[in-house]
Amino acid sequence: MESAPAPILQLSGISKRFGDFYANRNVNFDLRAGEVHCLVGENGAGKSTMMNMLYGLLKPTEGTISMDGRPVEIDGPRHAIDLGIGMVHQHFMLIPVFTVAENIVLADEPTDGVKLDIKAAEQRVSELSAKYGLSVDPTAKVQDITVGQQQRAEILKALYRKARILILDEPTAVLTPQEIEDLLAVVRQLRDEGMSIIMISHKLKEVLSIADRISVLRRGEMVGTVDTAGQTEESLARMMVGRDVLLKVDKGESIPERPVLQVENLWVKDDRELDAVRGATFEVHAGEIVALAGIDGNGQEELVDAIAGLRHIEQGRIVLDGENVTDLTPHEVSDSGLAHIPQDRLRRGMIVDFDLRENAILHDWDKPDMVRLGIIDRDASAERAQMLCDMYDVRSGAGISSRAGSLSGGNQQKLVIAREIQRDPKLLIAAQPTRGVDIGAIEFIHTRLVEERDAGTAVLLVSLEMQEVLSLADRIVVIFEGEIVAEFAGGTVDEQRLGLAMVGSADKAGAGT
Amino acid sequence: MSDFINFWIVGLGVATLRFATPLIFASLGGLFSERSGVVNIGLEGMMTAGAFFAIYLSVQTGTWTMGLVGAMLAGMALALLHAVATVTFQADHIVSGTAIILIAGGLVNFLNLTLFGPEGSPADVSTPPRVSLGAFQFSILVPLAGLCVFGTWFVIFRTPFGLRLRSVGEHPRAADTVGINPFRMRYIAVIVSGALAGLGGAFISFNVSSYTENMVAGNGFIALAALIFGKWKPVPVMFACLLFGFSQGLASRPPGWLPDALSSPELLNSLPYVITLVALAGFVGKSIPPAAVGKPYAKH
Amino acid sequence: MTRRFDIESALVPVLAVVAAMLVGMALIGMIGYDPFYAYTALIEGAVGSPSAIGSTLLRAAPITLTGLSVMIAFRAGLFNIGGNGQAIIGILFAGMVAVHAGGIPGPFGWLIAMTLAALAGGLWAALAGFLKTVRGANEVVVTIMLNYIAVRIGEYMLGLGGPLQEKGSSIPASAEFASNAKLPVIWRPDPFTEVHVGVIVAVLGAAFAWFLIGRTSLGYQIRAVGLQPDAAEYGGMSVTKIVIIAMFIAGAYAGLGGAVSSLGDLDRMQKSDFGVLQIGFSGIAVALLGRNTAWGCLFAALLMGGLASGAVGIQNAGALPAGVGTKLIDVIQGVIVLFVGMDVVFRRLSGRVVGIFNRDSNHEVKT
């Protein structure tokens, strides 16, 4: 019997408090030399907070961090680097206008006298990249290379600094399936070379395939650490959520009527002027919920923006209840019968520094029932806001004169949904309507969407959550790399087949019903 | 023919250099500051302070070198104020810059009146020596400005310090995660900026051997324009300054063959601003500033 | 728009003014004069007599308008450093009318002059709004450039042989304004102080700005665009259009400010006036000190006007060497801007001041 190897890194009783809120509470965690230790948990479970403490970006409120058995106080990234900790952040910490080599050597530059020796830097990067199979051109500017290459540059940054411990914060979130495979291979190779790795993820399949041990965080607290052997996705999911959750929505059969939204061969570019939507064609009928399913960043956002008139359409046609709305302004599309629950309520859906009364009339600044002679009718807008709050149970500190930003996420979202549904639209687009919303509000929101459907509205649901798609949709269209790659009738598809379709490898036989 | 040469080559050449030199110093100062992410519209104020303290210290000590040191220190002191406001207290860079201009203008004129009295500075001021190059004669600060262009280019683009400074101006959090202290880098850059702007101001007052109110007269803003027109790169910035200096030189001695309507010195003087507007509007190659310029940086 | 009274936020400007006055005291002491005597003279000069009050009002009027200009642009998310340029364009147009207003009946002289000043200033500023939204040019630099272009245009127009220079004169100045283009006097506290209708224009301007921003659909759109352009676009507003309109209104205010200062206080335009014009910059200080509210601008302008008028009091009392008083006020104004800009410090400080008063209710609020 050999005893378990001593941990290279140990967190004991770590807490991090922001005001009254505990992002981490009494967390214990250890990392053994040469293991891949995955850290899983839902959004907001405190994973990133924990890693930021390890990297010296945050200081723990309580508890101790030890390395090689000795307690350390990590007082900054520089100190973390000196201790041999490297971190690849979820949002890359790369400077777009610098070259790969410049990014990697930054703050530890090779010099020739007082001069920066950029040739030596490129040389060192080439050597490292050859050694670990992380191919990337050291002389290329970061803004010109792919996301996968940028990630390799990030890993090289840690290797260049002689990291012994590598923290990867949701490294696969932004990658294509092929890039994910490559990354996991690199992670395995690094482990075999003796690197100790902490990887944050909430993709359980990946976690099971790469981890030696898995730790689960829930609401800032450590639920437990387990060996990967013997775990399943279900067992991990249960640990993450704390109970078996299956979102069940009570809904009857849908009775689709006339087509309300017709999207025909739509082409839209993203902010970088690349094709984001490529020839999408689909319909949404009155009285049905169509879910647009896909992994984040496959053109959903651009597609929705194009329908709402918020983004230029390169080619194709959008028809809203018989009316061609292709080149209309957002205001005109909205007047033609579109209500839109935007994906990012804090950026688009509401003005956080306006009060609820003013937010209630975001589309109505020219409507005769709210504005007369260019002057806003305060009573009418207050009445409207009060009605929305009452109907959708929006809770706020100071009623309709509360600042929208002071509401909880769920209440903010309810306000947005109330405002949009109350406009009695022909088409309702709900883009990630339950993102960042608590369980209670999720059920409420789902019920409302079904009610809207039953009232004869065409509902287009855009969601990244497979569960939400499966439980709400009457029909599912799958978008992958800007193309509609599959379509399923609701209830005819399981998580596995939908998941395959979402990564672009649908079995063509089942698709396109 | 020799009139032509006198006018064109010597006269206009010297005038161009005379007008361009303070712009070069100040815009290089702006370059340091903005490359680190701090907008510095306070250059105008720092130049004003430099103009006054160059004369004051030169009078007090009897040597122009001390005048130069004084000009730099005065610029640096104001720059320090700007850095404290913008870097430490995250004040809006434009607001702080405006304050610097108001404070510098008021304070310098306050001191001018109380230290020199209503008659102004005495007539015998020690000023930097002139050097001759053939028919050209100019202050030794002119070649010093050229040296500063080269020095700035070298420091910003060829040294580890420059790489770090630019990283802070582009993505301070990324710099922070590899252990660069964005606050410290920005302090250094802004203070260097003040020293250079102070030198620019010193050139203006040394050139006429005295300080008078409002003598900087918008040069700080033209320097800012040159910085944008030169796309935040030292050598192009220098050429922008020369171009702007040339148009000012032309305005100071409009050539006879220009039609009357165009030879108005006022309109010729507005050329730098018009050119910059056109450049800003993206009609002649877009100027893209450092990504994080003007944005306060805060830890989590 | 709801604005709950936020005592901490209201204390920031007060503390900034106090701090700036202390800096001023230190400066006075430093040159060996008596700060208390100087400040007494300052207060005398600002509010110590009817004519002092009149002088304060006269100085407050134009900077109220330029302050409102900066405030309105701020609300649309733009920093209007161009008040000086817009005021100059306003002065030129108002002056052009004023010089020839002899043939215009009665009060229409100054009314037409003021209207043209507002329109011209507005268009000048709208250009910056256009370049910002359509061409992506930073409005700060654009308005600075436009300031200097306006200065040069003004100097050209009034330079020897310029289109607005008085024919046959060898002075770089315009002909005298017609008497019906001068702003009517509403109060004459002493023979040398003539308080004109510009003061009323300033108060009406503040009232209109308050109504526009807080009550109208346009104001709603301006605020939405300024706070969250993406949300404004989502709400169907045209960000481009609103920014340009807001800049037009801002420029109109600055143009009016220029016209008030010119038609109210001067008899003609002079070439040398343009380079040293300060009301645009003062407008920035006014807007910041007034915390970007209409009535705040009015109060801040009164304070700044009082300081400027007080500088004359210092001069008359001989409390400081000749000319030094106005320079001191410039410094104080700059320090106020700096301190208001460093809001964080003052929030912390004023939070503490408030904390002293309500120590009992200082329990933590659960969220």
pLDDT value at residue B218:
86
CA distance C300 to chain A (A): 24
Instruction: Give the three-state DSSP class for A29.
Output: strand
> Whose structure tokens read 């609820």?
A356
Confidence of residue A511 (pLDDT cuts 50, 70, 90): very low
Is residue A355 within 8 Å of C228, Cβ to Cβ?
no
Are A97 and B291 within 8 A, CB to CB? yes
Among C217, C224, C231, the residue with its CB nearest the CB of A371 is: C217
* Cβ neighbour number for residue C359 with a 10 Å cutoff: 8
Partner residue opposite A94 with nearest CB, options B158, B160, B174? B174
By the 8 A CB rule, do A503 and A295 touch? yes
User: By CA distance, what is C156's nearest residue in B?
Assistant: B266
Interface test with B, best of C145, C156, C340, C346 (most B CBs within 10 A): C145
Q: How confident is the model at residue A303 (pLDDT cuts 50, 70, 90)?
A: very high
SS3 per-residue string spanning A277-326: EEEEEEEEECCCEEEEECCCCCCHHHHHHHHCCCCCEEEEEEEECCEECC
Q: Do A348 and C231 touch (CB under 8 A)?
A: yes
* Inter-CA distances, B62 with B113, B200, B210, C291, Å: 20, 20, 14, 48
Choose between A436 and A152: higher pLDDT: A152
Residues in chain A: 513
What pLDDT digit, counting tens, does each position of A226-260 carry? 999 988 877 887 777 665 455 567 777 888 889 99
Q: What is the pLDDT of residues C188-232, one digit of tens each?
A: 998 888 999 999 999 999 999 999 999 999 999 999 999 999 999
Question: Can you count the helices (H) and strands (E) in chain B?
Answer: 13, 2
Q: For an interface test with C, which of B38, B86, B98, B267 has the most C Cβ atoms less than 10 Å from its Cβ?
A: B98
Measured between beta carbons, the chain B residues lying within 8 angstroms of A94 are 171, 174
Nearest-angstrom CA–CA distance, B187 and B79: 9
Q: Is residue A414 within 8 Å of A445, Cβ to Cβ?
A: yes
CA distance C188 to B272: 46
Q: Which chains touch C (3 or more CB pairs under 8 A)?
A: A, B
Report pLDDT for A184.
93
Q: Which of B22, B34, B21 is nearest to B233 (CA)?
A: B34
Per-residue confidence band for A509, with pLDDT thresholds at 50, 70 and 90:
very low
| Tokens coding B72 | 């730099």
A224, burial (CB in 10 Å: exposed 0-12, middle 13-18, buried 19+): exposed
Residue B225 and residue B273 in contact, taking contact as beta carbons nearer than 8 Å: yes
DSSP C206: H
Confidence of residue B275 (pLDDT cuts 50, 70, 90): confident
Range name among A116-120, A192-196, A437-441, B219-223 with the lowest pLDDT average? A437-441
φ and ψ of A2, to 5 deg: -100, 140
Q: Three-state DSSP class for A59?
A: coil
Smallest CA-to-CA distance from A10 within A46, A57, A48, A60 is with A60
- Min Cα distance A87 → chain B (Å) is 9
Number of alpha carbons in the 13 Å side-chain half-sphere of residue A469: 28
Contact call for C338 and B110, based on CB within 8 A: no
Question: Which residues of chain C are under the pLDDT cut of 50?
Answer: 1-4, 355-367
Sheet strands (E) in A187-241: 196-201, 213-218, 221-227
Chain B contact for C114 (CB, 8 A cutoff): no
Question: CA-CA distance, A249 to A183, in Å (whole number)?
Answer: 38
Cβ distance B178 to A97 less than 8 Å, yes or no, reads no
B137: enclosing H helix or E strand: strand B136-139
- For residue C367, what pLDDT is reported? 27
**Chains within contact range of chain A (3+ C-beta pairs < 8 Å):** B, C
Asked if C281 has any chain B CB less than 8 Å from its own CB, the reply is yes
Q: Which residues of B touch C324 (CB under 8 A)?
A: 110, 113-114
Q: Write out the two tokens for A381.
A: 């807008």
pLDDT of res. A395: 87
pLDDT of residue A247: 54
- Residue in this structure with the two tokens 């100790």, named with its chain if needed: A196
For residue C260, which of C328, C204, C304, C343 has the smallest C-alpha distance? C204
Q: What is the pLDDT of residues A60-106, one digit of tens each?
A: 999 999 999 899 999 888 999 999 999 998 889 999 999 999 999 99
Provide the 10 A C-beta neighbour count for residue C267: 15
**A429 in contact with chain C, both atoms CB, cutoff 8 A:** no
pLDDT recorded at residue A506:
55
Which pLDDT value is given to residue A498?
82
Would you call C234 and A358 a contact, using CB atoms and an 8 Å cutoff?
no
pLDDT the model gives residue C356:
44
Pairwise CB contact (< 8 Å): C231 & A351: yes
Cβ atoms of C59 and C202 closer than 8 Å: no
Exposure b/e, C172-185, CB count within 10 A at least 16 = b: bbbbebbebbbbee
> Does A331 sit within 8 Å of C236, measured CB to CB?
yes
Distance between CA atoms of residues B54 and B203, nearest Å: 9
C218 in contact with A, Cβ within 8 Å: yes
Task: Write the pLDDT tens digit of every residue in A466-476.
Answer: 778 888 999 99
Neighbours of A329 (CB within 10 A): 15
Strands (E), A358-398: 371-372, 375-376
Q: Cβ A87–B177 below 8 Å, yes or no?
A: yes
Q: With contact defined as beta carbons under 8 Å apart, do C204 and C190 qualify?
A: no
Task: Answer yes or no: are the C-beta atoms of C265 and C58 closer than 8 Å.
Answer: yes
User: With an 8 Å Cβ cutoff, are A362 and C231 in contact?
Assistant: yes
Chain C positions touching B105 (Cβ under 8 A) are 330, 334
Could you say which of A334, A348, A366 has the minimum Cβ distance to residue C230? A348
CA–CA dist C174, C156 (Å, integer): 12
The residue among A126 and B133 whose pLDDT is bigger is A126
Identify the helix (H) or strand (E) that includes residue C252. helix C239-265
CB A171 within 8 A of CB A151: yes
Q: φ and ψ at C320, to 5 degrees?
A: -140, 160
**Pairing verdict, β A7-18 and A62-67:** antiparallel
- Report A:143-162 residues touching B (Cβ under 8 A): 157, 161
**A209 vs C: CB within 8 A:** no
57-76 in chain A: CB under 8 A from chain B? 57-58, 76
**C362 touching chain A per CB within 8 A:** no
DSSP A43: T
Mean pLDDT of B28-46: 96
Average pLDDT along chain C: 89
Q: What residues contact residue B215 under an 8 Å CB cut-off, 6+ apart?
A: B48, B51, B204, B205, B208
B74 pLDDT exceeds 90? yes
Q: What are the tens digits of pLDDT across the range C10-52?
A: 788 888 999 999 999 999 999 899 999 999 999 999 999 999 9
Contacts of B163 in chain A (CB under 8 A): 98, 102, 106, 109, 116
Counting residues of chain A whose pLDDT is more than 90, the rounded percentage is: 62
CA distances from B26 to A197, A368, B36, B190, C98 (A): 50, 55, 16, 12, 41
Interface of B with A in 180-199 (CB under 8 A): 180
Closest-CA distance, A305 to chain C, in angstroms, reads 9
